[in-house]
Amino acid sequence: MTIETVIAKIQLRRGDFDDLPVLSEAELGYATDYDRLFIGNKPVTFKGDGVTREFNLRDTSIIPTQIKIAIDDEIIYDTDLMNEGIHASGPGLSPEEVNFIEEIGGSKILFARAPDNNAVITVSYNSEILINKQPQEKNAVLLDITSDIITETKISWDVLLYNTAKMTYSYKAGEELVVGEVFFITNGPGPRPTIKVKNSATDDFITFFGFIRDQQFHIAYINNTAPANLFYSLELWNTI
């Protein structure tokens, strides 16, 4: 009996970043000019109440050129058809339909006027699949919007081993780009430990803090921009 071996080659949708369409759910697209990989998400739906103008895709940073919005199955915003951004007209869209959207950025979609009561709003969008090309470990943690409330991250270490830390980070939320460093030092874990934090960043979108609990030093933050992943490297040592 002869066994035939069939080798199948799977190729992804590919092309320039600017030409990448809104992908179908679980469809992959590769931007050959920037070596970036994207995937289409399951469409998200909201229901209009006739009053609300702002809708948020939680834990998502929207790529403004890779999103499609429909109301009651009628497309009112389609980046595949646009050349000049939110307020530009494009084939298949009237100026009234284009101007229905006032702003897209971070995780926010802001309508110029509230969708009708019981209108079904469907949002299709792409997310980037991050490819780590560096030999070192990649660290990332999601930062949400905190509205001036200090919020704990998942970044921590044992203060019995290390009392000093330096975190170098970068952050992108919508069109906002932040890069900076933050230093932490403590004489903990005594009953009233001294903690010093020095923030250094290009903008004041994110402020970091520190506290000690159960002999662990924990990093906390206030985020004044949009939710997205914080990419960071952490150096730890003991100052004695």
Buried b (16+ CB within 10 A) or exposed e, 3-36: eeeeeeeeeeeeeebeebbbbeeeebbbbeeeee
Please state, in angstroms and as integers, the Cα–Cα distance from residue 117 to each residue in 17, 50, 71, 122, 168, following that order: 37, 4, 11, 15, 46
Q: Quick one: 206 exposed, middle or buried, by C-beta within 10 A (0-12, 13-18, 19+)?
A: buried
Distance CA 108, CA 69 (A): 13
Please state, in angstroms and as integers, the Cα–Cα distance from residue 158 to each residue in 150, 181, 188, 236, following that order: 21, 20, 10, 10
For the chain, list the domains and their CATH numbers.
13-129 (no CATH), 139-237 (2.60.40.1680)
- pTM of the prediction? 0.54
How does pLDDT run along the chain (240 residues), one tens digit per residue? 677 888 888 888 999 888 889 999 999 999 888 788 999 999 999 999 999 999 988 766 677 778 999 999 998 888 776 534 443 333 444 545 556 888 887 688 999 999 999 999 999 999 888 765 544 446 888 888 877 899 999 999 988 888 999 999 998 877 778 899 999 999 877 778 899 999 987 677 889 999 999 889 999 999 888 888 899 999 998 886
